[in-house]
């Protein structure tokens, strides 16, 4: 399918794989989408800003990049940044079309329904989009797709009016008569208000007059405060809604001065906010911020998980605002058709954007249109014409899940190991991301559908780097399809999932089975290998103390939720595997104790001490905490054995006391990710011993389940 992307200051249209309908989402074949003159054009301009200029404006991102250099090295950081610049960003947040497919758990819609969609994370300029249930609304009968595709802009304007709480007969001033101002003015009129519009553009003032605004004040009005006072019997406006976009601080100042005493000002647009106390204090004015489409916006649980707010508590959510705007359009209480300047087919998207910068006259609305498409035609694979053929010696690998870690770690490592691996495919939830990674790393094709690589006879193995809740089911499907599997930790989130994987191998009997490797990479690091070698001939049990200064994650972060399974299962499992590797034995006892935070900021589930006893008598403890400072090393290990002490500092330095051991050190942490891939390749090519035996992978995972149960008590 075709999709519009913003790349280094330019608008491009690319062929990318179509998305699939995730649970709680619908798949929509787009008829029309609406270009936002403000938000999207600023995105185009900022994407063309040189990196050094961006660095001055966004010091936080520079700091993040430097931290990445410190943890992963310059070459991998450079690869991530170059990939981001080359990939481009999806754009668009308002569209309308017909439902093609429904994901699990979607009620109230049927395939073939006419709908309008919102959301910068969903409603892109693309032939097919995936949209969550709460950001999708039915299009009323009689309302055409071009008008319905403005749904997001209408919801934004409607929410701004709601924040102003207008009542019948009040006078409101709308500052800025762009598209938001034009819609806002009409909504206020439908609400029984008198409306005064302010703008410097005579053409926009003319549009507002034709659409029924009561008064307009333009560039010829030297004293708008005085004019508004005269139009309101000397009182001033009951309220002012700012829909302008300008860095000037004077707009807010003017809005305050236009109000009567105890009036209110609502900010919808993006303006300078250097507030002057004298402008609002004497009148005791109310100043409101209107957040986008309404309640639910920026709430992950509402937008992504489909959890609605009860009408009795939140009357107007963003979804209900969207639906109400479409109703007003269908009943002709809002006129939008005359404001649509032009409609361009998606192939001419670059020309459509240029319309906003040509000449003095700036269009209010420009739409993109899309072909109807053949029934049932949804292409989820896009070949890479620049890909090279694989050799017989290479393992043909598909990477499933192209997030930051995969693009920053696994894919660069696979490039470096091209003698062993050929990148067959990159699979990602979003087609644009899959396509970008495919081009950057030279895969044969991009896809959004995991099942495509499972049925691909030329795929030998898969590397699964998706969110944790998908790991177990994907592992099982891949094994059943005969593919070797390297899955990022954790292997599973619960015993039921793990049991199904174990059952697969038990039922195989003596038959040859694919290799399974869970991404417990720390055991493959040169440091862990050196420790394991040093303790091979020990005569006594060991004491192992591991401290993980994991760093704080907000409690609404995905790692804490159902997608991540919590930080114990999702990350601490690394250390349970390392303990298993170093002792070489089975665990016989598991204990755990967590703190009880006195505030809601911290969680007990990522601040705990776990103690493991192994069959050889060794005792290992893990202190896992989110309480510490990021300036302190993340991971430290001390091993006490036979009069010796071995110390590992953040996978940068290994030292020992009472033991002659080669001192190992590096500038960046080396946690064995590349060596893990090398071991996986050897196991597949040689058909020999697995890099990690199945029982050890199962044990590390089950230890995490036992500890989770103890922490939950």
pLDDT digits (tens, 9 = 90+) for 641-681: 999 999 999 999 999 999 888 788 888 899 999 999 999 99
Q: Is the pLDDT of residue 612 over 50?
A: yes
* Residue ranges, CATH 3.30.360.10, the chain: 521-712
Q: Give the pLDDT band of residue 355 (cuts 50, 70, 90).
A: confident
CB 252 within 8 A of CB 284: no
Q: Which of 98-102, 355-359, 553-557, 581-585 has the lowest mean pLDDT?
A: 355-359
Q: 205-261, pLDDT tens digit by residue?
A: 999 999 999 999 999 898 999 999 999 999 999 999 999 999 999 999 999 999 999
Q: What's the rounded Cα separation, in Å, for the pair 174 and 161?
A: 10
Residues forming beta bridges with residue 50, ordered by sequence position: none
Residue 70 φ/ψ, nearest 5 degrees? -65, -35
Task: Name the CATH architecture for the domain at 521-712.
Answer: 2-Layer Sandwich (3.30)
Q: Residue 504 has which token pair?
A: 């697969």
- Mean per-residue pLDDT, 69-83: 65
Q: Which of 62-66, 304-308, 314-318, 657-661 has the highest mean pLDDT?
A: 314-318
Q: Which of 350-364, 436-450, 677-691 has the lowest mean pLDDT?
A: 350-364
Percent of the chain whose predicted confidence (pLDDT) is above 90: 86
Q: Give the pLDDT band of residue 52 (cuts 50, 70, 90).
A: very low
Q: Give the pLDDT band of residue 337 (cuts 50, 70, 90).
A: very high
- Mean per-residue pLDDT, 27-39: 89
- Mean per-residue pLDDT, 161-186: 97
Task: Name the CATH architecture for the domain at 388-517.
Answer: 3-Layer(aba) Sandwich (3.40)
Q: Is the pLDDT of residue 76 over 90?
A: no
- Mean per-residue pLDDT, 33-55: 65
Q: What is the pLDDT of residue 54?
A: 54
CB 462 within 8 A of CB 398: yes
Q: Which of 155-169, 292-306, 365-379, 398-412 has the lowest mean pLDDT?
A: 365-379
Q: What's the rounded Cα separation, in Å, for the pair 673 and 667?
A: 16
Q: Give the pLDDT band of residue 577 (cuts 50, 70, 90).
A: very high
CB 659 within 8 A of CB 534: yes
DSSP code at position 126 = B
Q: Give the pLDDT band of residue 36 (cuts 50, 70, 90).
A: confident
Which residues, other chains included, contact 406 with Cβ-Cβ below 8 Å and sequence gap of 6+? 399, 437, 463, 465
Q: Which strands make up the sheet holding 237-242, listed edge to edge? A: 215-217, 194-198, 171-175, 237-242, 259-267, 286-289
**Per-position DSSP letters for 286-353, written without gaps between them:** EEEE--TTSTTTT-HHHHTT-PPPPTTT-S--HHHHHHHHHHHHHTTSS--GGGEEEEEEGGGHHHHH
**Closest by Cα among 369, 361, 337 to 127:** 369
Percent of the chain whose predicted confidence (pLDDT) is above 70: 92
- What is the greatest pairwise CA distance in the chain? 97
| CATH number for the domain whose boundaries are 2-150+300-369 | 3.90.180.10
* Residue ranges, CATH 3.40.50.720, the chain: 158-289, 388-517
Which residues, other chains included, contact 699 with Cβ-Cβ below 8 Å and sequence gap of 6+? 576, 580, 586, 587
* Residue ranges, CATH 3.90.180.10, the chain: 2-150+300-369
- Mean per-residue pLDDT, 51-62: 57
Q: Is the pLDDT of residue 534 over 80?
A: yes
Q: 312-332, pLDDT tens digit by residue?
A: 999 999 999 999 999 999 999
Q: What is the pLDDT of residue 63?
A: 62
DSSP code at position 676 = H
Residue 338 φ/ψ, nearest 5 degrees? -70, -15
Task: Name the CATH architecture for the domain at 158-289.
Answer: 3-Layer(aba) Sandwich (3.40)
Report cis status (omega within 30 of 0) of the bond before 490.
yes
**Closest by Cα among 382, 395, 378, 380 to 438:** 382
Q: What's the rounded Cα separation, in Å, for the pair 370 and 368?
A: 7
**Per-position DSSP letters for 451-463, written without gaps between them:** HHHHS-TT--EEE
Q: Give the pLDDT band of residue 571 (cuts 50, 70, 90).
A: very high
Q: What is the mean pLDDT of the chain?
A: 93
């Amino acid at each position: 399918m075709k999709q519009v992307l913003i790349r280094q200051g330019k608008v491009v249209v690319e062929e990318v794989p179509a998305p699939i309908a995730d649970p709680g989402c619908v798949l929509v074949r787009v008829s029309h989408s609406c270009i936002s003159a403000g938000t999207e054009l600023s995105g185009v301009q900022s994407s063309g800003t040189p990196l050094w200029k961006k660095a001055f404006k966004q010091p936080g991102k520079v700091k993040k990049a430097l931290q990445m250099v410190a943890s992963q090295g310059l070459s991998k950081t450079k690869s991530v940044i170059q990939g981001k610049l080359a990939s481009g960003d999806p754009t668009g947040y308002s569209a309308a079309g017909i439902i093609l497919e429904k994901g699990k758990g979607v009620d109230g819609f049927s395939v073939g329904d006419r709908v309008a969609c919102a959301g910068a994370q969903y409603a892109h300029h693309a032939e097919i989009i995936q949209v969550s249930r709460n950001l999708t609304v039915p299009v009323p009968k009689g309302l055409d797709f071009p008008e319905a595709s403005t749904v997001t802009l209408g919801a934004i304007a409607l929410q701004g009016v709601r924040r102003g709480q207008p009542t019948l007969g009040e006078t409101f001033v709308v500052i800025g008569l762009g598209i938001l101002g034009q819609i806002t003015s009409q909504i206020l009129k439908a609400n029984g208000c008198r409306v005064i519009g302010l703008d410097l553009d005579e053409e926009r003032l003319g549009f507002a007059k034709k659409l029924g605004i009561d008064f307009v004040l333009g560039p010829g009005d030297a004293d708008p405060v005085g004019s508004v006072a005269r139009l309101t019997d000397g009182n001033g406006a009951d309220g002012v809604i700012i829909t302008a976009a300008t860095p000037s601080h004077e707009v807010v100042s003017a809005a305050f001065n236009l109000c009567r005493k105890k009036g209110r000002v609502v900010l919808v647009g993006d303006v300078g906010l250097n507030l002057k106390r004298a402008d609002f204090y004497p009148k005791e004015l109310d100043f409101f911020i209107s957040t986008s489409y309404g309640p639910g916006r920026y709430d992950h649980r509402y937008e992504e998980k489909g959890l609605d707010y009860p009408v009795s508590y939140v009357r107007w959510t963003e979804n209900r605002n969207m639906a109400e705007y479409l109703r007003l359009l269908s009943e002709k209480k809002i006129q939008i058709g005359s404001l649509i300047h032009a409609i361009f087919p998606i192939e001419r998207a670059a020309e459509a954007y240029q319309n906003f910068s040509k000449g003095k006259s700036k269009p209010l609305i420009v739409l993109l249109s899309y072909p109807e498409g053949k029934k049932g035609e949804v292409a989820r694979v896009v070949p890479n014409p620049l890909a090279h053929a694989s050799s017989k010696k290479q393992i043909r690998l598909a990477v499933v899940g192209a997030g930051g870690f995969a693009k920053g770690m696994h894919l660069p490592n696979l490039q470096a190991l091209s003698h062993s691996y050929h990148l067959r495919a990159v699979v990602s939830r979003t087609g644009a991301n899959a396509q970008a990674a495919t081009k950057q790393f030279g895969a044969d094709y991009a896809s959004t559908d995991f099942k495509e690589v499972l049925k691909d006879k030329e795929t030998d193995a898969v590397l699964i780097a998706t969110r944790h809740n998908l790991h177990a089911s994907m592992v099982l499907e891949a094994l059943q399809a005969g593919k070797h599997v390297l899955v990022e930790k954790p292997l599973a989130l619960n015993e039921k999932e793990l049991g199904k994987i174990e059952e697969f191998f038990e039922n195989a009997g003596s038959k040859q089975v694919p290799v399974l490797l869970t991404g417990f990479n720390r055991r493959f690091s040169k440091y862990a290998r050196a420790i394991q070698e040093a303790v091979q001939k020990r005569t006594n049990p060991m004491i192992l103390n591991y401290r993980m200064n994991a760093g704080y994650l907000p409690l609404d972060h995905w790692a804490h939720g159902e997608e991540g399974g919590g930080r114990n299962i999702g990350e601490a499992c690394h250390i349970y595997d390392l303990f298993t590797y170093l002792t070489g034995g089975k665990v016989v006892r598991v204990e755990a104790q967590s703190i009880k935070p006195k505030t809601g900021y911290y969680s007990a589930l990522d601040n705990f001490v776990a103690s493991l006893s192994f069959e050889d008598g060794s005792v290992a403890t893990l202190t896992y905490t989110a309480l510490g400072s990021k300036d302190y090393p993340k991971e430290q290990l001390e091993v006490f054995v036979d009069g010796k002490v071995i110390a590992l500092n953040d996978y940068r330095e290994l030292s020992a006391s009472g033991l002659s051991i080669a001192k190992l050190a590096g500038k960046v942490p080396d946690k064995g990710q590349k060596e893990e891939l090398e071991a996986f390749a050897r196991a597949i090519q040689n058909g020999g011993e697995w890099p990690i035996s199945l029982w050890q992978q199962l044990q590390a995972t089950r230890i995490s389940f036992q500890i989770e149960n103890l922490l939950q008590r």
